[in-house]
């Protein structure tokens, strides 16, 4: 029985360690990525996984060591995994609608650095031009969809 307890403790420690490693990877992604959309992806996907692994490891440890099953811990796992992606989706959607800078592969930085986020090499005019182009494209798509809806309504009324 002692061997089984040690194996379960080792599994819990491994999950906590894996969760902390993924949290470090998430932090590096937040620093390294260039725009709000990539950063939100790094902060949501990997940090949610790291919190999940860490809390599952803690849940296993306390269940094994103290024979104590924490409902609060289980609820925190559920709520973090539900609310974190939804919240970051709303942040990314707000950034997109306000015309935030969006990184593209053809955007070549003018200098080579490790931390591209610490130095933005795009001028304000370039960012504004790109945001205006995105907004024109979005309005064009919206206008075309509105015309199609009007045509569909007219066809239905004629029938």
Closest CA to 31 of 129, 151, 102, 117: 117
Q: Which residues of the chain have pLDDT under 70?
A: 104-122, 159
Q: What is the pLDDT of residues 47-80, one digit of tens each?
A: 889 999 999 999 999 999 888 888 898 999 999 9
Residue 109, pLDDT score: 52
| DSSP conformation letters of 80-93 | HHHHHHHHHHHHHH
Q: Which two tokens stand for residue 22?
A: 């993924």
CA distance 31 to 43: 10
Report yes or no: 73 and 55 within 8 Å, Cβ to Cβ.
yes
Q: Give this prediction's pTM.
A: 0.62
Residue 58, pLDDT score: 93
Residue 117, pLDDT score: 46
* Per-residue burial over 70-106, b = 16 or more CB atoms within 10 Å of its CB, e = otherwise: eeeeeeebeeeeeebeeebeeebeebeeebbbbeeee
What are the contacts of 122-128 at 24+ separation with CB within 8 A? Answer: 127/101, 128/99
């Amino acid at each position: 029985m002692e061997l089984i307890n040690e194996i379960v403790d080792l599994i819990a420690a491994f999950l906590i360690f894996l969760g902390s490693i993924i949290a470090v990877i998430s932090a590096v992604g937040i620093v390294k990525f260039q725009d709000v959309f990539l950063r939100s992806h790094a902060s949501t996907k990997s940090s949610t996984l790291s919190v999940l692994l860490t809390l599952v490891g803690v849940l296993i440890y306390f269940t094994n060591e103290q024979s104590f099953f924490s409902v609060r811990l289980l609820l925190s796992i559920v709520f973090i995994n539900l609310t974190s992606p939804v919240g970051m989706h709303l942040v990314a959607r707000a950034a997109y609608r306000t015309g935030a800078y969006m990184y593209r592969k053809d955007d070549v930085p003018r200098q080579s650095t490790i931390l591209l986020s610490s130095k933005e090499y795009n001028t304000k005019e370039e960012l504004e031009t790109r945001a205006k182009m995105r907004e024109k494209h979005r309005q064009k798509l919206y206008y075309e969809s509105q015309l199609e809806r009007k045509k569909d309504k007219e066809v239905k009324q004629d029938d």
